[in-house]
Structure 1
Amino acid sequence: MMVPSPVIIENLSFRYRSRSDFAIRNINLTVDQPQVVLIAGASGCGKTTLARCINGLIPRSYKGELSGKIYLQGQDIAGLPLARISQLVGTVLQDPERQILGSMVMNEVAFGLENLGLSRDEIRRRVDEALERLKIAHLRDRQTHYLSGGEKQKVALAGVLAMKPSILLLDEPLASLDPASAQDALEVIRSLADEGMTVLMVEHRVEDVLRIQPERVLFMKDGEIQYDGDPQHLVERVDYREVKLPAPMIMELAVKDPPPPPLNILPGVNSGGGPLVEFKDVAFGYESGPEVLHGINLQIRRGDVIAVLGPNGAGKTTLVKHAIGLLKPKRGKVLINGKDTHQLSVAEIASTLGYVFQSPSHMLFAPTVYDELAFGPTNLKHPEEQIRKEVSQAIEIVNLQGYEKTPPLSMSFGQQKRVSIAAILAMRSRILVMDEPTAGQDYKNYMNFMNSILEMPGFEAILFITHDLDMAVIYANRVLLVNDGQVVADGAPAEVLSDLERLRQCRLLPTSLLETNLKYYPRTQQFFRAEALTHYLASGE
């Protein structure tokens, strides 16, 4: 008896009701056997739309004009209820905030199994198995509300794995994960495919996924599949400026091109003067839970571009929320411009510090992109003409021209992330604080907007939480390593990132760009992005 192909897509096109152009066009795809299929491409190119068609959310939850056919395990899904489709294909969404419903981790992972009507013993066995497989058994009895973004992502994946679907659809599963957790998740994904599961993975972290040798890569552009083939030939078909490839590969390609222009980081800002923000022996714990931060002492000074690195659940976001006054210390003090945050309102702090949340759904609410961006400057009582200028410049920096009238919540996660960054840029705060700014972003977009942000006059310091070690290598002049609620290292990138053993203790894995920079550091005495390093070495400086 012939086994049906796990996935067949024929002439698939879709246009959202709120948009005039098609999000995807003429997609044809057949996956004949269990394997890992990586789906890559720029933010907004149609990857998530394709995923929503496969898991049935289009046209059931997202309305518009749909044509074409999708067969999963030989079944045409057009007439199937969503509950039946979810048994064929398990989905992990890009933003775990939208997927987690249960208040406790155990209940969240058990939710789908209870809907299948399984026995209590079977549910318990599958929950424990999924948590164990993802190395998060210690979270079993925790409240989901207090989990970090990365921990939530792993819990969402555990809930889907427990259902044992034959097809696994992952939309940016690595976006919130620290490098070691990402590697663990990828190894699980590889083993699932080897055991007979078909895995379709939408992901911007192409270099990471290539390590588990996906059988196939789809590269999408402008709603169409531009490349469908093995990973080895991907480099011949894509622009290294658009897809983040391993550093040696980029250097090989970049040598033929002109060098990138040098960055002018925080122009016009001199270091010196008193600290902008100061933590004095800060300790904090949520409600009756354990202490999350212990004995934090640090200063943010003019001219600082600080990368905050560390494992999921280390306390990075909690620390940063103290800097912007969203949280107040249980012990110790946080001073902003010399004033204790206990005496300042969040609104007063906002003119000094602008904060981009990890999840755009925590920020976005306005009917259009323009309204979203104008909201902060309006509240800060900026003049009307100035607001128009601030909004226009912010839109340009994040490459969203033409989207001014678009509802933010109808956009892709990557585009929403850029809207949330632009909303803070428009406020012109003196210090910019970003939590995972590159989550959901393609390489080209995040390099462009990071370059633009760092060269904007007006910012006196920038602080960003990231799991992307390369962001620290390329942009930071100072790195904070946070682990178990403490700052375990604080110094120049070359000093902090050269201690590979300490990085591993903080669940950070050296990237090919870091390794390449460390190799040439005795000669260069600075860190570069791969393209710039190529030309520096070629110039013989």
Structure 2
Amino acid sequence: MTSTQFPLVVDNLSFRYRDRQGAAIHNISFTANPGEVLLIAGASGCGKTTLVRCINGLIPRSYKGEMSGTITVFGEEVKDWKLSQISQKIGTVLQDPERQILGTKVVNEVAFGLENLGMPREEIFPRVDEALNFLKISHLRNRETFNLSGGEKQKVALAGVLAMRPSIVLLDEPLASLDPASAQDTLDAVRLLADQGLSILMVEHRVEDVLRIHPERVMFMSDGEIRYLGDVAGLSKVVNYREVKLPAEDIVERAKLDPAPAEIKILPGVTSSQVGQDALVRFENVAFGYESGVEILHGINLQINRGDVIAVLGPNGAGKTTFVKHAIGLLKPKSGRVFVGERDTTEASVAEIATMLGYVFQSPSHMLFAPTVREELAFGPTNMKHSKEQIELEVKEALKIVNLSEKEKDPPLALSFGQQKRVSIAAILAMRSRILVMDEPTAGQDYQNYMKFMDSILQMPAFEAIMFITHDVDLAAIYANRVLMISDGRLIADGKPQDVLRDFDRLKANRIIPTSLLALNLKRLSTTGRFMRAEALAHI
């Protein structure tokens, strides 16, 4: 195949951001083939997103710095192309759909790119419907984008790209906000697009999920360079299993050769006699709807007790975030009551509730605003009137936990999505609220970072309970001592992980797909008595 026939050729590409030391990527060379899925994996901050920005033209047009090397599309160098020209050949779905969606209604959002090209309406709407049908989201056509869940927004962003009919599609963490079944639907769509001749470059931490659609090649990046580029079979031999999440059986085989991991003491500030004794938060028959007459939550009854580590599972659009926002007072029930401590949330301000509950939003762009990471972290404790010495200590400890100590002087919004997510978590850690609530804490995180900061968070004596919304079944299995399952605004399961997660029929009915780690844990449960991470199972 000649260079003019290759959809994409990247040759000796390097880039350094204007406001940062050192190159983000250097000496990157590869070609993308038609009809290929190329999986790009690697730790957060290793240069994956920078590579995507170079290919889609955002570098150097929107992100400034020093760039060298060439990028050619079907034999033509793209450095002088306009972004509108690039977008017709190269479609991009960003990590954070909040940054991509501009239209108020789904149909308008999917049509946006086509309208910008001046295409006639009679051609636009068939293309819009074709993209919505392809992704199985036609039912969202007339919905307002503001009221969509994070996962639904991700699918709408992809539909907007597909409507443009590009030859190359760049997907930057497309599964980050999706429930497991939606992720599988998206991956099936990606496989179909590749089989129809498109070149797909997919940046993704959920490697095990992507392996199900048999990507033709895998690129593994580290410190801004390509460390491996080849078939899937060779990947597990060259990558660090702590950095890239491989299937559980592969991790077990590799981890057998290493020392057993240390036992994690969960919520050390809570004694065994206190666990489950005190209700920190109570929901009493809570119902809620954003629009009058349309109910999203129906009759939620539960309490969060001291010592609880709760994973909240359920499909996209099930009401999980709406439920959690009631706990922190951002939303007030239409009927029923929520108590934080002994206070009814209708009688307490969000600022008052924040001393009890700290909340990490799903999208970091909803939280981050300060000029530096350090100022971002100091903002909450300063508002809560913590002393100067205390704030200094809280900021340093929070940065250490999320592995960002060297970034304290950087602007938060100049960091990668995964790093931004960790900054938003650190901002809440620094406030030392009694209960930590996180919405998709591991979205955009590599395996090593999310295991490290989850281990650290659960060992912090400041917290009396932790609750996290997640689509990651393994995160629930490893860290939670209680799992809530929400579907269609109703609480349909509440119990220990080994009780809730063993019902595969119920999981699949609620768009949750069992993982290799869950299957392995259930197989060994009679020996272990509890769920464990793969690295620990290797030494049982």
Q: TM-score band (shorter)? A: over 0.9
> In structure 2, how many angstroms separate the alpha carbons of the residues matched to 1:268 and 1:32?
54
CA offsets 1:188-240 (integer angstroms, 9 cap, x no match): 00010011000000000001001111001010000001111111110110011
Aligned to 1:9: 10
SS at match of 1:276: strand
> In structure 2, how many angstroms separate the alpha carbons of the residues matched to 1:21 and 1:290?
53
SS at match of 1:101: coil
Q: TM-score, normalised by structure 1?
A: 0.98
1:342 to 343, 346, 370: 346
Aligned to 1:78: 79
Q: TM-score, normalised by structure 2?
A: 0.98
Matches within 5 A, 1:415-426: 415-426=419-430
Aligned to 2:488: 484
Mapped contact 1:95–1:359 kept (Cα < 8 A)? yes
Aligned to 2:368: 364
> In structure 1, how many angstroms separate the alpha carbons of the residues matched to 2:229 and 2:180?
27
> In structure 2, how many angstroms separate the alpha carbons of the residues matched to 1:522 and 1:391?
43
SS at match of 1:114: helix
Aligned to 2:88: 87
> In structure 1, how many angstroms separate the alpha carbons of the residues matched to 2:125 and 2:292?
28
| CA spacing shift, 1:364–1:458, aligned 2, 3 Å | same
Aligned to 2:418: 414
CA offsets 1:35-88 (integer angstroms, 9 cap, x no match): 000010000000000000000000000001111110012120100011100111
Aligned to 2:144: 143
Matches within 5 A, 1:324-403: 324-403=328-407
Aligned to 2:162: 161
Report the Cα offset of residue 486 of structure 1.
Answer: 0.5
Mapped contact 2:11–2:29 kept (Cα < 8 A)? yes
Deviant stretches of 4+, over 6 Å: none
Identity across matched positions, percent = 69
1:534 to 523, 535, 538: 538
> In structure 2, how many angstroms separate the alpha carbons of the residues matched to 1:165 and 1:375?
43
Mapped contact 1:6–1:34 kept (Cα < 8 A)? no
> In structure 2, how many angstroms separate the alpha carbons of the residues matched to 1:284 and 1:480?
18
> In structure 1, how many angstroms separate the alpha carbons of the residues matched to 2:240 and 2:520?
21
> In structure 1, how many angstroms separate the alpha carbons of the residues matched to 2:127 and 2:38?
26
Q: Give the root-mean-square deviation of aligned CA atoms.
A: 1.0
1:507 to 508, 511, 531: 511
Aligned to 2:121: 120
Mapped contact 2:17–2:65 kept (Cα < 8 A)? yes
Matches within 5 A, 1:255-274: 255-269=256-270, 270-274=274-278
Aligned to 2:433: 429
Report the Cα offset of residue 129 of structure 1.
Answer: 1.2
CA offsets 1:15-45 (integer angstroms, 9 cap, x no match): 1111011100111111233200001000000
> In structure 2, how many angstroms separate the alpha carbons of the residues matched to 1:34 and 1:137?
26
Mapped contact 2:269–2:460 kept (Cα < 8 A)? no
SS at match of 2:171: strand
Structure 1: unaligned runs, 5 residues or longer: 537-541
Which residue identity does 2:464 align to in structure 1?
A: E
> In structure 1, how many angstroms separate the alpha carbons of the residues matched to 2:30 and 2:257?
34
> In structure 2, how many angstroms separate the alpha carbons of the residues matched to 1:486 and 1:69?
53
CA offsets 1:424-476 (integer angstroms, 9 cap, x no match): 00000000000000000000000000000000111000000000000001000
1:311 to 279, 300, 315: 315
Which residue identity does 2:318 align to in structure 1?
A: A
| CA spacing shift, 1:115–1:272, aligned 2, 3 Å | closer
Structure 2: unaligned runs, 5 residues or longer: none
Which residue identity does 2:171 align to in structure 1?
A: L
Mapped contact 2:358–2:433 kept (Cα < 8 A)? yes
2:472 to 450, 453, 468: 468
Which residue identity does 1:300 align to in structure 2?
A: I
> In structure 2, how many angstroms separate the alpha carbons of the residues matched to 1:387 and 1:79?
49
Aligned to 1:539: none
SS at match of 1:79: coil
Count of aligned pairs = 536
Aligned to 1:320: 324
Moved more, 522-531 or 334-343: 522-531
Report the Cα offset of residue 289 of structure 1.
Answer: 6.2
> In structure 2, how many angstroms separate the alpha carbons of the residues matched to 1:457 and 1:309?
26
Mapped contact 2:269–2:463 kept (Cα < 8 A)? no
Aligned to 1:448: 452
> In structure 1, how many angstroms separate the alpha carbons of the residues matched to 2:179 and 2:63?
31
Aligned to 2:521: 517
> In structure 2, how many angstroms separate the alpha carbons of the residues matched to 1:290 and 1:447?
39
SS at match of 2:463: coil
SS at match of 2:131: helix
